[in-house]
Structure 1
Amino acid sequence: MAAKRISQSSVNWAALSERVPVAQKTNFMAFKSRSDKYLRAVLANPEQSPKIDWAAYKNKIPNAALVDSFQKAYESLKVPYPADTLSSEVDKLRSQVTQEIAAFKKESEERIAKNKAEVERIKGLLPYGQMTLEDFRDAHPDLALDPINRPTYWPHIPEIQPDYVDPNEKDEEHH
């Protein structure tokens, strides 16, 4: 099985260039330059090996049997092309990644819809400069002061309250 001849790079360099961070542009350009150089070197060679004119050699060399033995050895030479054992694994991985991408897209679309609904809810609120304390409590019940159900001490910040527990401190008393 012979390898198919490449005629051009299959890499979309423009799309790839858009995704490269600015700090890595010089490395990317060096890589692209090396890739292009390799492609030019491959394309500079003919697709097929040149044919050997065995008759011309038989006419020039006194021992024709030597040329026949070389011809026989040359024509019997078969360079083994490695068997493709990884394409099935790559296809499995591609389908797995495609499923993961589809799941991520679906989750992202759900998050986008949820966030758009939250944006619309916030747009529907009164501007904070026009809100009364009751309007603020209705819009943000978890943030508003509630002196009846959750009394607090002035200045009403969590760190000042008696039941405050610092989330950054390790709970060493219970160990």
Structure 2
Amino acid sequence: MNFHVSEKYKSSGKRKTILAALLVVGIIAGAAWMFIASDSLYHKILAAIITLLLIKHLPSAYKNIKNHDSSYPIVSIIESENKIDISHKGAVVSMPLSDIESLRIQSAKGNIKSLLLTTKSFSNLRFEGYENLAEMAELLKKYTPAGKIKNATWYHR
């Protein structure tokens, strides 16, 4: 069964990325204004340092906004082959379901928000924002050792 990230989660993440980029641009504009308007050498040096430190993040912010939709992996749980495939941008990583050590289900207001999977192959896998997270949790519960499933009563990032 394939699991994809929901469009709502993608748009929320993209909106947060755009707002963070706008905040950085606003701080850079304020620092540039401080550089121009200030007569104090201290303020000019401070404004230049702030601008130089923040301006290097703008190309990566643009890249994140541009490629945001393709930055989420597709998770396939193949019960017949006893494995999980995680594909991202053409690369596929497979892991046997027998490698699952523990599963933590994080809920908020009765809805599953994320799954934290501890495995032997990879230390931790986090599944957040996927459609049908409840169904994914039920599939993963089948392969998690007894007593290693924890339902978190609060949701944290």
Shorter-chain TM band: under 0.3
Q: What is the TM-score with the length of structure 2 in the denominator?
A: 0.25
Q: Which has the higher contact order (CA 8 A, sep 6+)?
A: 2
Higher strand share: 2
Q: What is the TM-score with the length of structure 1 in the denominator?
A: 0.23
Whichever of the two has the greater Rg, that structure is 1
Higher helix share: 1
